[in-house]
Amino acid sequence: MKRYNKFICTGLLLLFHFSLSGQNVIDLRLNELLIINTEDFQDDFGVQSSWFEIFNISYGTVDIGGCYLSNDPNDLKKYTIPRGDVLTKIKPRQHVLFWADNKPYRGSFHVNFTLEDSPVLILTSSDGKTILDMVTLPTDMEPNQSYGRVVDGEGSFGPNSDDSGWAVLSRTSPSTNNYTLDGKSRSEMMKETDPYGLLMAILAMSVVFIALIILTFVFKGTGSIALKSFQKKADAYNKTKKVSLAETSAETFAAIAMAIHLYANENEVHDIETTILTIERGRKNYSPWSSKFYTLRKMPERRNK
Amino acid sequence: MDQIINNLQQFWDYTGFANTTYQHILMICIGLGFIAMGIIKEWEPLLLIPIGFGMIIGNIPLYPGLSVGIYEEGSVFNILYHGVTQGWYPPLIFLGIGAMTDFSSLISNPKLLLIGAAAQFGIFAAYSIALLLGFEANAAGAIGIIGGADGPTAIFLSSRLAPDLMGAIAVSAYSYMALVPLIQPPIMLLFTTKKERLIRMKAPRVVSKMEKVIFPIVGLLLTAFIVPSALPLLGMLFFGNLLKESGVTRRLAETARGPMIDIVTILIGLTVGCSTQADKFLQLESVLIFGLGAFSFIVATAAGVLFVKILNLFLKPENKINPLIGNAGVSAVPDSARVSQLVGLTFDRTNHLLMHAMGPNVAGVIGSAVAAGILLGFLS
């Protein structure tokens, strides 16, 4: 039985591990791409090529190393993103930019295909089969115009993704967010909309009260259930144990009287529990310092070979 | 000879004497005051002594660049201070609080939870005043939480909303928690009549083990679903309580409420004290924060007491609540409950309010964590 339990635990741990690993790469999204680059962003070699961006939607770092990129649905493993490159680890809510220049010898982020004349762009998991995200490339793009998710990471994704959430963007934003806020923090906006804090006070106090009122009702309910079950048990006990005073032995009365006497005069021998009168059981705490066993020299053992 | 003189000059430049300013001396005196309050008056010594000593450590004048000060990256104190700035310590403290808190009085009389909710009004009153004084909304929220009378919650929230003000907020929160026996009684007496102070409350019923086990699970599910941003605090609080009440994890519960909370209390107290470096701490903002903290605390106490009075209007005579336990709605556990007991005894030597006051007191812990979650949700 113990071995059986071990198997279950190991299985659960493995499942947990794999589900975590799976969780990581499924948080990657193709986010923005530019097909014809004549005046836009340049790579480290000063060359303008088509590029695409992958976004990590999670709040944890994801290593993209070992995943595959392709522009051919029949060859998902066209470009292997190298493992062991520190730059393939994408930080939470960050982007990584790839150059589709068909020059993979220029580094991990230069793939062996281009986007021009490609029908699709596919990101595949390290198993080489699971398509994490794919996008059908538009054919009517102007030079230096990018196509991407309107809000980073949002919209349909996966092997059957459609174009929902994607659009021609008003400006290119390689390695940065496609969508940015107007610069005001939530705190600033809060101060503008509620300069005296009254709205906040009313809202927040309401939420605090609602949370604690719900708790109050829940525990009133559980309390009444507990009381009923206690009452039931007490009734059942009284039915089975109908002991009249006449049948009660003198020893019982003596024990009760002694307990009350001790409780009243020598309180320290009792443990105190609400509504229950008991005599505390004497305890002798074990300690290796006082154990006779440890103070004795161990007898030598003869081992039979 | 010149070389020796130069070396001596350099040594002198490195000493604290050469770098002392009157602000350093003032902060060291405040630190000594904290230690004196802790030892002589025994007001929250477990907090005031580490904080006070931390203030002295943090205000020893240093030659910059020695990688010793708390704000210098890589120094020992800086590494320990990460637990405060990143908000690791407060949830660990909450774990210990959960493992040492008996929620029986609250479970037996759940309406006491509402007192814990009412006392949170102090937080939002201080928030409004802070906005009027010109603080940004996030800073105002962090300052307001002082009224929750919960040091770990104040540190947790200020580390997220206003890290620059955290030292002042933490010291203010812990100072007022230590001063609970001084601040609360006059407010309690001001808002209650003699007749009200003599109200005898019904003895709480016995709570079954099953109810005690259900409480942390249901409590977490309900509160965390409403305010997920308070999860680090509520999750750890209720987890600690489950360790205690389950009866099968005694070792874990004992570690959480014993050695672990002691270690974290030492670290949090010392580093918060250290963070009050004179150049960062002695500013007009800190004075305002102390003033707002006191205001927040007073309003919270008054709100708790007044709420009980209002609640009594709707309760049957045999179920009336003594308004002297209203102050315990702030979450300074167990000091504010002890204040209820002591003030109650001065009017009726046989009317023990402690067990009743523990209900709103622990409800205050939940309430302040929920309030912190709301502020975090709105302002971060």
Chain A CB within 8 Å of residue B223 CB = yes
A209 to B114: CB separation less than 8 angstroms, yes or no: yes
Report the DSSP beta bridge partners of residue A95. A55
Mean pLDDT of B220-235: 89
- CA-nearest residue of chain B to A214? B222
Domain limits of chain A?
18-168, 187-242, 243-281
Return the pLDDT at A18: 46
A50: three-class secondary structure by DSSP: strand
Chain A CB within 8 Å of residue B114 CB = yes
Chain A CB within 8 Å of residue B378 CB = yes
Task: Mention every residue, 6+ apart, whose C-beta is less than 8 A from residue A214.
Answer: B222, B226
- C-alpha distance from B221 to closest chain A C-alpha (Å): 10
Q: What is the pLDDT of residues A130-161, one digit of tens each?
A: 899 989 888 888 888 899 998 888 888 888 77
Instruction: Give me B96's structure tokens.
Output: 């210990």
Mean pLDDT of B256-279: 90
Judging contacts by C-beta atoms under 8 Å, the chain B residues touching residue A205 are 117, 120-121, 124
Instruction: For residue A44, name the pLDDT band (cuts at 50, 70, 90).
Output: confident
- C-alpha distance from A272 to closest chain B C-alpha (Å): 13
CA-CA-CA-CA torsion for B363, B369, B370, B376, nearest 10 degrees? 170
Mean pLDDT of B110-117: 90
Return the pLDDT at A84: 84
Mean pLDDT of B140-149: 88
Q: Which CATH class is domain A18-168?
A: mainly beta
User: Please, how many CA atoms are within 13 Å of residue B268, restricted to the half-sphere of its CB?
Assistant: 29
- C-alpha distance from B377 to closest chain A C-alpha (Å): 10
Q: How far apart are the first and last CA of chain A?
A: 33
Reply yes or no on whether the pLDDT at B131 is more than 80: yes
Mean pLDDT of B138-154: 88
Chain A CB within 8 Å of residue B295 CB = no
Rounded Cα distance between B244 and B355, Å, is 19
Chain A CB within 8 Å of residue B86 CB = no
Mean pLDDT of chain B: 89
Question: What ipTM was estimated for this complex?
Answer: 0.84
Return the pLDDT at A23: 47
Given a contact cutoff of 8 angstroms between Cβ atoms, the answer to whether B84 and B174 are in contact is no
Rounded Cα distance between B92 and B264, Å, is 7
DSSP B189-210: HHT--HHHHTPPPPPPPP--HH
Rounded Cα distance between A204 and A197, Å, is 10
Reply yes or no on whether the pLDDT at A69 is more than 90: yes
Query: Burial level of A231, CB count in 10 A (0-12/13-18/19+)?
Result: exposed
Return the pLDDT at A19: 44
Judging contacts by C-beta atoms under 8 Å, the chain B residues touching residue A187 are 136-138, 141, 161, 379-380
Q: What is the pLDDT of residues B315-324, one digit of tens each?
A: 888 889 999 9
Q: How many CB atoms lie within 10 A of CB B36?
A: 14
Give the amino acid at B257.
R
- CA-nearest residue of chain A to B210? A226
Rounded Cα distance between B170 and A10, Å, is 45
Instruction: For residue A296, name the pLDDT band (cuts at 50, 70, 90).
Output: low
Q: What is the pLDDT of residues B3-30, one digit of tens each?
A: 888 888 888 888 888 888 888 899 999 9
Return the pLDDT at B240: 95
Mean pLDDT of chain A: 79
Reply yes or no on whether the pLDDT at A111 is more than 80: yes
Lowest mean pLDDT among A274-278, B31-35, B50-54, B246-250: A274-278
Buried b (16+ CB within 10 A) or exposed e, A252-286: eeeeeeeeeebeeeeeeebeeeeeeeeeeeeeeee
B128 to A213: CB separation less than 8 angstroms, yes or no: no
Task: Give one word for A102, left, alpha or beta, with left for phi > 0 and alpha for psi -120 to 50.
Answer: left
Reply yes or no on whether the pLDDT at A270 is more than 80: no
Judging contacts by C-beta atoms under 8 Å, the chain B residues touching residue A229 are 208
A189 vs B93 pLDDT, higher one:
B93
